[in-house]
Amino acid sequence: MPLYERALLALYSLITAALALVLLGVSAGWRTPLAWYESALTTLEYRVAGGVIAAVILVLSLRFLLGSLQRKAPKVEQALIRRGEAGDVTISLAALESLVVRAARQVKGIKEVKPRLKILPEGIMITLEVQVLPDQHLPGVAQSLQEGVRNYIAEVTGLEGPEVRILINGVWQEPVRRVE
C-alpha cells in the first residue's frame, strides 16, 4: 500500500474513532455535542463545512470499500533468460528456487537448504541458508555448493554468473536415542 494511502487510512481511522467517541458520549448522556450540532445547523457556514466534512468521509469510505473488494493478482517475480526476435524467455523465481534446491542437494555434506533469491540489475543473487552434516570441512563444502549451484543454474537456465552466497546456519546433530 503506497504511503499516501496509508496516510489517508490513518486519517480516516482517526476521524472514525473521534466520531465513535462522541457518539458514545452522547449515548452516555453528554449533551454538549448535540447543542453544538443544533447551533451549527442554524448557521450557513457551519452547514457548508459540515457538508464538506461529511462528503470527505463518504469519499474516503467508498475508496477504502472499493479498494478492499478489488483482487489484485500476486506479482510473479521473474528473471530474463533470453531475449530474441520471437520474444522474451523468462523464469519465475519459484521455478528457479526449486532448481537451486535440486542443485544444492547434490552436494555431499548438505543436510538442509533454504534458498532466497533476489533479482538485481546486474543479475540474480542467490543466498543459501544451509545446515551441514557433522565432521565436514566447511570451506570445502561451501565452495562445492557455490560452484555446483552456479554451474547447474548456468547449464539449465542459461543465466550467467549468478552470485551465490552461503550462510551455514548450523551443523546437523543426530538426535540422541534413549535405550530403556
Asked if the model's pLDDT at residue 115 lies above 90, the reply is yes
**What's the pLDDT tens digit per position in 46-56?**
889 888 988 98
**84 to 9, 80, 81, 121, 123: CA distances (angstroms):** 45, 11, 10, 19, 18
pTM attached to this predicted model = 0.55
- Above 70 in pLDDT, residue 11? yes
Return the pLDDT at 4: 87
Write the CB contacts of 5 (distance below 8 Å, at least 6 apart in sequence). Answer: 67
C-alpha cell of 179? 535405550
Domain at 91-171: CATH code = 3.30.70.1350
- Rounded to whole angstroms, how far apart are CA atoms 113 and 25? 58
Asked whether the beta carbons of 129 and 122 are under 8 A apart, the reply is no
Instruction: Tell me what percent of the residues of the chain surpass a pLDDT of 90.
Output: 31
Tens of pLDDT along 57-77? 899 889 888 888 887 766 667
Distance (Å, rounded) from C-alpha 91 to C-alpha 26? 60
What are the grid coordinates assigned to 47, written together? 452547514
d(CA 70, CA 62): 12
Three-state DSSP at 54 gives: helix
For the chain, which residues make up each domain, given as ranges? 3-69, 91-171
Query: What is the pLDDT at residue 17?
Result: 93
Quote the CA–CA distance of 140 and 109 in Å, as a whole number.
10
| Residue-level pLDDT at 49 | 87
Distance CA 51, CA 148 (A): 68
